Amino acid sequence: TPASSQAPWAWFDGRMVSLDSPQAPLTTHAMHYGSGVFEGIRSYATDDGGAAVFRLPEHMERMRKGAVLLGIDFDVAQASEAVLQTLRANQHRDAYIRPLAWLGSGTIGLDVAPLTQHLMVATIAQPVHLAGKAARLGVSGWRRNPAKSLPPLKLCGGYINSVLAKREAKQRGFDEALFVDDEGVVVECTGANVFMVKDGAITAARHADALDGITRATLIELTGATSRPVSLEELKQADEVFVCGTAAEVAPIASLDDVVFGENPVTREFQALYARIVRGQDARFAHWLTTV
Ligand code: PMP
């Protein structure tokens, strides 16, 4: 492991390198066509002074699925080890972890067979911001990528859809965009899944075009939430709305278009529970943690 004084380090094609030193050819396929797949993972400081990665195998399995679609060879064991090595080299504990596998150079055409393949892992120190302000959500004018055109995996090019919706939301004075489909059924946000609380019942909005979120699955297991399609009408009448994702964790929603929600007591309770579990403070869920 390199000396941490030269941090930040990144794992790049089998070696630890200084994060900013690699140069990609200008013909890099992924830069032109979005032909790559990434993950967003988090590690958390644990009480013993170490750190643990939350649900690493699940993130790696989702990344593998995306890589298979793109014809990228992906070794889950190697990528998992790269994540741990990068965290150790950077001495990061509370961190956001960004692995990326992509197609490099060899052709400017669309047949991926001649292309070089690459893998990197960067980690970004990220103090946790659980007490953050509740977000103002606006219904997007954009539609989510339909799953029949682009499967809801973390394929780089697909995220242009999220970039457009996020830009529109910001331009209209919202913090975040909510995608709904042509029938007015809730899909998800640009980087998080949607839940609601109504009369004590917890519901996870389900949609074929939404990413199958690992935080969503975690919260369904923890809260016993029902996973089913939710209309925008129904969401607007909820007592509480929250979104969840690796980066967002459990994030309360203050308003949706012109509908203002009240206090978020149930959301705050799940937020606190999630915070304990990811830090290894709840032994029942120790199997979700990979020690760094
Ligand atoms: N939806 C989208 C579009 C996302 O990018 C993310 C973040 N990966 C999520 C939902 C939440 O997924 P997860 O809980 O697996 O991070």
- Convert the pLDDT of each residue in 29-48 to its tens digit: 999 999 999 999 999 999 99
pLDDT above 70 covers what percent of the chain? 96
Task: Give the pLDDT mean for 23-34.
Answer: 97
Question: For ligand 1, atom 9, which residue shows the shortest CA distance?
Answer: 192
- Structure-token match 């066509």, residue found: 33
More confident residue, 3 or 61: 61
Q: What's residue 130's pLDDT?
A: 53
Determine the distance separating the centroid of ligand 1 and the alpha carbon of 95, expressed in angstroms. Answer: 16
Atom of ligand 1 nearest to the CA of 218: 14
Q: What's residue 127's pLDDT?
A: 73
Determine the distance separating the centroid of ligand 1 and the alpha carbon of 192, expressed in angstroms. Answer: 5
Average pLDDT, the chain: 95
Pocket test residue of 246, 270, 288 for ligand 1, highest count of atoms within 8 A of CB: 246
Question: For ligand 1, atom 7, which residue shows the shortest CA distance?
Answer: 191
Q: Give the number of other Cβ atoms within 10 Å of residue 27's Cβ.
A: 13
Residue 3 pLDDT greater than 70, yes or no = no
CA-to-CA separations, 85 to 2, 22, 56, 79, in angstroms, rounded: 10, 18, 13, 10
- Convert the pLDDT of each residue in 94-129 to its tens digit: 999 999 999 999 999 999 999 999 999 999 998 765
- Convert the pLDDT of each residue in 222-259 to its tens digit: 999 999 999 999 999 999 999 999 999 999 999 999 99
Determine the distance separating the centroid of ligand 1 and the alpha carbon of 57, expressed in angstroms. Answer: 15
Q: What's residue 5's pLDDT?
A: 58
- Structure-token match 């649900």, residue found: 55
Q: What's residue 82's pLDDT?
A: 98
pTM (predicted TM-score):
0.96
CA-wise closest residue to 275 among 292, 253, 251: 251
Q: Is 188 in the pocket of ligand 1 (CB under 6 A)?
A: yes
Going by their DSSP bridges, the two strands 240-245 and 226-228 should be labelled as unpaired
CA-wise closest residue to 82 among 49, 114, 48, 59: 59
Residue 2 pLDDT greater than 80, yes or no = no
Contact 38, 99 (CB under 8 A): yes
Question: For ligand 1, atom 12, which residue shows the shortest CA distance?
Answer: 213
CA angle 245, 104, 156 (to 5 degrees): 20
Question: For ligand 1, atom 5, which residue shows the shortest CA distance?
Answer: 191
Phi, psi angle pair for 226, to nearest 5°: -85, 135
